Every structure is written in C-alpha cells, then in structure tokens.
Structure 1
Amino acid sequence: MSEPRWPFVVFDLDGTVVNTIPLIIASYEHAMWDVLGERTSPEEARSWIGQTLYATFHARRPSRAQELIDSYVTWNAAHLPELLEEFPGTPELLDALTAAGVVTGVATSKRRVSAENTLRYAGLEGRLPVTVAMEDTDLHKPRPEPLLVALERLGGSAAVAAYVGDAVVDVQAAKAAGMTAVAVSWGAAPREALEAAAPDHIVDTVAELEELLLG
C-alpha cells in the first residue's frame, strides 16, 4: 500500500458512513404529519438531508419549527435501532485508514447525542470520533466552519485534508474550506447533482473510496 493521499480525512455521517437515509426520510414524514397534518413525499424529504433540522423546518413553518424538531427527534431516536443500516465495507475502511496513520473524524449537521448514538448502534463508536456536531458551530454546511473546526481539533490543515460526503452541501462546504471534496454516490444526493457540484473526486463504492484515500 502506498502512502495515504491525505493525512487527514473528515467524514460526513448520514448517508456517507452509515445508511440512515430511510430513517431520516421517515422521521421527516412523521414530524410533518404529526405537527402540521401535511404529507411529505420521500423525494422532498430526501432533498432536505444535509441541512440542520432548524434550517429545514424554519424554512417551511417558522412559527412551529421547534415543535417539528421535537417530533422529529423523538421519533428518530425511538426508531434508530430498527431502521439504521450499514454500508458494507465501512468498518474495514476506517480500520485501514487508522492502520495507515490517517487521522479521521466526523463533521455532521446532526446533534451530538444523535450522532454519537448513530455511531454506537452502527458499531463504529470506537473507530470514528464525532469531532464537530450541530452544537459546535453557529454556521453550518454549506458554510465551511464545521469542517474548519474539525480540522483544528484534529490538528490538521485544509491543504492536506479531504472531506467525504454524500450531499451537495458537503461538496460546497469542502470547497469553501479549501479541502479536497470527495463525493460518494450511495447516499442522499443523485449522482448527477453531485457531478454538477463539481467535487474533486466522486466514487460509487466503498472499495473505490478506499483506493482513492489509500492508493
């Protein structure tokens, strides 16, 4: 194996490291119906992934955003164990990165407790620390602040770091931070949307991602 291409790799969580897409879509559908009595299509709910809950719900019903958040969070936490799915090969990828000396972390728009529970149920808690969660920055993706704070905490710099994510906002945040933007096509965004965002790299399988990161 050759030297890692980037000594620091920061990951998005949902749809990148773990398959929480069905859970998130169902949680959005539940909250919108529970609080507003409105039906939300899976396609529309899928397009919201990557934003904070506050940004998503405030854009749709500012006066009831907190009720929507509370409904979402309660339902999501209750159904996390049954709806969480893994992306095969991810634990092995993280182990390979660690063995190669790559410093890794997570920068996510999720609340910290939710992110940590997600990693715990996925069996990845000891492999990948939640470096930056929603509470850690005032500004969120597609702004670069979460990624830059993650790099600071990991002891890295943007010039030697990659950010891996499945949403257009992930690509935008990585580019704004000056990091290498790596998009994965197995998550929330359609491949054509990721291509339009012009990441530095786009991969379709975990094996391709490992080859890119480790050579």
Structure 2
Amino acid sequence: MTKVIIFDFDGTLADTIDILLSITNRLSAEFGFKSATKEELAQLSNLTSWELLKYSGISIFKFPLLIRKLKAELRSEIPTIELFPGIKEVLLELKKLGFQLGIITSNSRENVLASLENKGLQDTFTFIYSGSTFGKHKVINKWLKKEHINAEEVVYVGDEIRDIDAARKTGIKVVAVGWGFNSQEALAAHSPDFLITRPQELIEVMSNLG
C-alpha cells in the first residue's frame, strides 16, 4: 500500500520554467555557455539532463557553481512563482486522503519553503529535502533508510527524465507529469509507471495504488 508521495518542485508543483530560463540566460555570459530562447525549449525538452549539459557547452567543473548562483537568484523571484493550475487543490485532497507528502528537489530548501509559505501550503508537507541535480536518488535512499520505509510504500512525482531515473535507482514507483520541462514523448520513452497530463489525474492514480 502506498503511504508516501514525494514530489519534485520545479516543473512539477511550481511553474518556474520561464523564470529559470531567464536567470540562466542572464548567467550564460559569465559561465560561458549558450543562452536559449523560449522557442528552443520545445527542442530542449526532449533531452536528458546530461544531453542538455552537453548541448549548452558549459564546463562540468563550472556547473555546481552555476547551480548555486541560480538558486540564489531564484530566491528573489519567490513572490512571482505560481503553482500549476489545480496543484494546490490536488495536494490538499491527497493530504485529506491520508497520504504523507514530501518534497525532494534540486532547488534549495529555503526557496521551496518560502514559496510554499507564500501559497499557504507550508504545513502540507512532512519533509523537504534538497539534493544535487544528479544525486536525487541518493537523497531518496538516505530518507528511506532514516525513516525505515519500504520502497513499495512510496511514489515519486516528477517532470523530468532524471526523476524517472532517480526513482528507478531507488526501487520506488514514479509518476511522470506532462506539464513540466521534459516533453510527454521524452518521458514516455523512459517508461515511467504512470504518465499524467492533468494534476487531477494524480488523485485517481494514488487512489488506485492506495
């Protein structure tokens, strides 16, 4: 029986794609990589994180510093961040149904918590953990061990191919959402357990699993 739902934040709960694109483009000259237009995102949405890194031309050695600066600049944008339509209602309904909700994200915990407080959702989640861009599975494994929870009791919800990969590495089921960064076609090609296109569908999926 599924008891815990872990969410990614950016692109899954929060519509931060345009904001992140704007900040990333501002930092492109400083870090020496290609900027991207909004129109190019459709093409980029079919790439994995490693393919995206290679496409951009950024040095792997500069990448950690870029991510830290990105998170820092995102902090000032918190008041403008909106949740995807229907997300808040779905979260409250899942909580009401008895699921424990958490967030494991590559964004900073401070950014996520500030955004949730801005939306009145700070008490909806039992835990919020931050991990590296490519190390989300390590955070999940650490949490599973700490809380003595079986992987069979957990579902991860995310919008990127790397979310599917992280879930696979930890043995938990994954729900891919089609409204975030990676395209539905790209997500489907990596065979998530479920692929949904509307937030409300998550209640149906979880009711069947629960």
Shorter-chain TM band: 0.7 to 0.9
Does residue 178 (structure 1) correspond to residue 171 (structure 2)? The answer is yes
Partners of 2:126 and 2:14 in 1: how far apart?
A: 14
2:135 alignment partner in structure 1: 140
Alignment of 1:185-200 (within 5 A): 185-200=178-193
1:84-123 C-alpha deviation (Å, 9 max, x unpaired): 1221222222222222221110111112222222322343
1:127 alignment partner in structure 2: 124
The one-letter code of the counterpart of 1:119 is: L
Which of residues 36, 41, 59 in structure 2 aligns to 1:40? Answer: 36
Structure-2 change in CA distance of 1:117 and 1:20 (3 Å):
same
Query: Does the CA-based 8 Å contact 2:46-2:182 persist in structure 1?
Result: no
In the TM superposition, what is the alpha-carbon distance from 1:211 to its structure 2 partner?
A: 1.0
Does residue 105 (structure 1) correspond to residue 102 (structure 2)? The answer is yes
In the TM superposition, what is the alpha-carbon distance from 1:184 to its structure 2 partner?
A: 0.5
1:77 alignment partner in structure 2: 75
Between 175-184 and 125-134, the greater mean CA deviation after superposition: 125-134
Structure-2 change in CA distance of 1:214 and 1:28 (3 Å):
same
Q: Secondary structure at the match of 1:86?
A: coil
In the TM superposition, what is the alpha-carbon distance from 1:150 to its structure 2 partner?
A: 3.2
The one-letter code of the counterpart of 2:106 is: S
In the TM superposition, what is the alpha-carbon distance from 1:47 to its structure 2 partner?
A: 5.3
TM-score when normalising by structure 2: 0.80
Structure-2 change in CA distance of 1:139 and 1:23 (3 Å):
closer
Which of residues 8, 27, 32 in structure 1 aligns to 2:23? Answer: 27
The one-letter code of the counterpart of 2:79 is: P
The one-letter code of the counterpart of 2:6 is: V
Partners of 1:190 and 1:13 in 2: how far apart?
A: 17
Partners of 1:140 and 1:198 in 2: how far apart?
A: 20
Partners of 1:6 and 1:213 in 2: how far apart?
A: 8
Query: Does the CA-based 8 Å contact 1:161-1:179 persist in structure 2?
Result: yes
Which of residues 157, 165, 168 in structure 2 aligns to 1:164? Answer: 157
In the TM superposition, what is the alpha-carbon distance from 1:195 to its structure 2 partner?
A: 0.4
The one-letter code of the counterpart of 1:167 is: E
Structure-2 change in CA distance of 1:130 and 1:31 (3 Å):
farther
The one-letter code of the counterpart of 1:210 is: I
Structure 2 residue ranges without an equivalent (≥5): none
Query: Does the CA-based 8 Å contact 2:159-2:179 persist in structure 1?
Result: yes
Structure-2 change in CA distance of 1:117 and 1:153 (3 Å):
farther
TM-score when normalising by structure 1: 0.79
Which of residues 188, 206, 211 in structure 1 aligns to 2:199? Answer: 206
Q: How many residues align?
A: 202
In the TM superposition, what is the alpha-carbon distance from 1:66 to its structure 2 partner?
A: 6.4
